[in-house]
Amino acid sequence: MTHVLHLAVEPFNKIKNGQKTIEMRLFDEQKSKIKINDEIIFYHEEYNIRCVVTDVKVYENFDELYSNNDKNLLGYSDDEIADPNDMLTYYPKERQDKYQVMAIFIKTI
């Protein structure tokens, strides 16, 4: 199955450059359909990146997701602090409270 997901410019560029191999999303109705070996086309404006899903893990919240995954794989550099509150940029607290969250392990193709 192929999924199409929008990305902000920073995470898009980090996936494109191989700096980010875990995409974090809410485990909502749409994203709960993502499975291992599915293809994801991430897009930003007119650009896109094709990836294959190598693993999917579901967590209760972003705190748990961050504490169980390497910050570099999440797109943070060694000198950055990986803070689950950064996800508030993308998902308001009310939406985060409504759903579990997922780590989508990806490989560009």
Percentages of the chain per state (helix, strand, coil), in multiples of 5: 25, 35, 40
Q: Which tokens is 65 given? A: 């997701």
Burial class (CB in 10 A: 0-12, 13-18, 19+), 2: exposed
Q: Dump pLDDT digits (tens) for 22-43.
A: 999 999 999 999 999 999 999 9
| Domains by residue range for the chain, with CATH | 2-108 (2.30.130.30)
pLDDT tens, residue by residue, 42-93: 999 999 999 999 999 999 999 999 999 999 999 999 999 999 999 999 999 9
Beta-bridged to residue 52, according to DSSP, are: 39, 107
